[in-house]
Amino acid sequence: MKNLLFLFTFTFFLTFGYAQKAPYVIYNAKGKKVSYKKMLKTLEEKDMVLFGELHNNPIAHWLQYELTSDLHASRPLILGAEMVEADNQDELDAYLAGTIDYKALDSTARLWNNHKTDYAPLVDFAKDNQLVFVASNVPRRYASMVYKGGFEALDTLSVEEKAWIAPLPITFDPDLPGYQNILKMMGDHGSPTLVMAQAIKDATMAHFILKNYTDGSLFVHYNGAYHSNNYEGILWYLQLQRPDLQYGTISTVTQENVHQLEAENKGLADFIICVDSNMTTTY
């Protein structure tokens, strides 16, 4: 991992150092530029941090690793991610414990196609530092069931299967702006059950985050930015159950000009990582 980070840093310097063109800028919710150090100092005081990424953005993945490493220096951490589904927790735990290798994990768990390049470094960080890593997302087959038949479809699951989703019945507010925006973006392809399928993911991730959280620790969760943008999604469900905890959020956006945050990107999160849209993607 150190060699990969060195290569990235060296390439980063060659690509952007001489041209003095920043590939990303960090902003606060109001659109004011802030330093990485400021973001770190703020987030290390929280109980939970939701790091909203763009799944193919290398800057987001690099900063996830850097932030996790730096937070670990000052706080006991628990890690978790959307990118591993809850019913693969046993396989993930076996890998973390060293009883299976990466090849076995890849063949037994439903890892994302970009896991090896983008998420394996985070999982390996947990392994090397003996940290818990939570597979938080709902198994996709259950989200598919909700999309086809609404929340009622989950009533047909066995007790064992229900262990991999948020407890039923699912609290749901279809009028949340984020869910309404999904319908707007999808146009004729949108439906109430499509939004429910999004909500079962949000609710399940929140459920497993809270289930594995311990007082005094800092839970860092990696998820697609839309799952926590505008303080909704996962965060809405977390605050519903634990309003007493202190939460921090990060979002990732791309712009042609990173030196002024566009109005539509203000307020997405406590910190917004604005990446040059010309930045190479991981897939």
pTM of the shown model: 0.92
Number of domains in the chain: 1
C-alpha distances in Å from residue 146, one per residue of 4, 81, 128, 162, 197: 40, 21, 37, 13, 5
What is the pLDDT at residue 270?
Answer: 98
pLDDT digits (tens, 9 = 90+) for 220-231: 999 999 999 999
Decide if 33 is inside a domain.
yes
Kindly report, residue by residue over 86-117, the tens digit of the pLDDT. Answer: 999 999 999 999 999 999 999 999 999 999 99
Mean pLDDT of 107-135: 97
Residue 205 lies in a domain: yes
In 3D, which of 278, 272, 179 has the Cα closest to residue 233? 179
In a domain? residue 7:
no
Residue ranges with strand state E in the chain: 24-28, 48-53, 77-85, 133-137, 218-224, 247-255, 271-276
Tell me, what CATH number does 187's domain have?
Answer: 3.40.50.11550
281 is a domain residue:
no
